[in-house]
């Protein structure tokens, strides 16, 4: 990953890219090594090159990352224009041209896509909320906190941690209650508090969801190392 610039704009652009996440893995594309380069010229033209673990990564996932990267970089003060280029992907031409034209997923894949990607993004955010719930709750359960005690906890009553901050952020992105008075255990689809009888099942689902995300991350890391031996940074 490289940044070439005479100013601080390049560093700001890279920081902006760190806010873009792989929707399935819920990790920054910078951490995952997906940013091959980020070059900002002295006149404010940014060129970002992305690469993914396989040639056939799902085009909807890829489109989300390229579009989010474009939005993140163009919002950086000092960037006058931006080009985000997905490399080594079977649908790179359609994705790159569609994002550059701000055409949306359906128009970019005319005749193939039937809906935009908002529902897909929300689906992965719900999974991220469940995984975050496990990250926060499992250590407390191991320390002796009972399901009944978890049920009445609010986010403000949970000890501060990076995992709690991450859970708050994902819930806020999904439009769920994320303030201090919000219940810790909520249905990620509705934001409603979990019923007492459903707490054990909710915690098991959270654990399975987190395990699935971590397993996918491990698989992607292996494929990425094979494809780009020097590119995986996590």
Domain residue spans in the chain?
3-115, 119-221
Rounded CA gap, 39 and 14, in Å? 9
The pLDDT tens digits of the residues spanning 50-104 come to 999 999 999 999 999 999 999 999 999 999 999 999 999 999 999 999 999 999 9
The CATH number of domain 3-115, selected from 3.40.50.2300, 3.30.300.130, 3.30.70.1560, 3.60.110.10: 3.30.300.130
**Predicted local confidence at residue 6, as pLDDT:** 47
Find residue 38's DSSP bridge partners: 3, 48
Phi, psi of 49 (to 5 degrees): -115, 130
pLDDT for res 231: 61
Residue 158's pLDDT is: 97
What does the chain come to in residues? 234
Residue 213's pLDDT is what?
A: 98
pLDDT at 111: 79
Q: DSSP string of 46-98?
A: EEEEE--SSTT--HHHHHHHHHHHHHHHHTSTT--EEEEEE-S-TTHHHHHHH
pLDDT at residue 152, rounded to an integer:
96
Instruction: Report, as ranges of residue numbers, the positions in the chain whose pLDDT lies below 50.
Output: 3, 6, 232-234
Distance, in Å, from the CA atom of 224 to the CA atom of 220, rounded to the nearest integer, reads: 6
Contacts of 78 (CB under 8 A, 6+ apart): 7, 8, 9, 12, 40, 44
């Amino acid at each position: 990953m490289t940044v070439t610039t005479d100013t601080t704009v390049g560093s700001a652009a890279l920081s902006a890219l760190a806010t873009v996440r792989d929707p399935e893995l819920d990790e920054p594309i910078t951490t995952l090594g997906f940013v091959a380069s980020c070059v900002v010229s002295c006149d404010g033209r940014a060129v970002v090159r992305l690469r993914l673990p396989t040639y056939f990564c799902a085009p909807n996932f890829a489109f989300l990352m390229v579009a989010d990267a474009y939005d993140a970089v163009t919002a950086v003060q000092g960037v006058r224009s931006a080009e985000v280029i997905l490399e080594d992907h079977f649908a790179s031409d359609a994705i790159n041209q569609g994002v550059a034209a701000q055409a949306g997923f359906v128009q970019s894949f005319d005749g193939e896509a039937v809906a935009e990607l908002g529902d897909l993004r929300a689906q992965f955010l719900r999974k991220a909320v469940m995984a975050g719930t496990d990250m926060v709750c499992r250590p407390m359960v191991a320390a002796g906190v009972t399901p009944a005690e978890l049920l009445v906890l609010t986010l403000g009553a949970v000890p501060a941690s990076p995992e709690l901050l991450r859970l708050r952020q994902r819930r806020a992105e999904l439009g769920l209650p994320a303030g201090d008075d919000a219940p810790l255990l909520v249905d990620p689809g509705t934001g409603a508090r979990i019923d007492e009888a459903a707490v054990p099942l909710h915690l098991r689902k959270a654990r399975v969801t987190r395990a699935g995300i971590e397993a996918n991350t491990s698989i992607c890391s292996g494929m990425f190392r094979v494809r780009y031996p020097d590119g995986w940074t996590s």
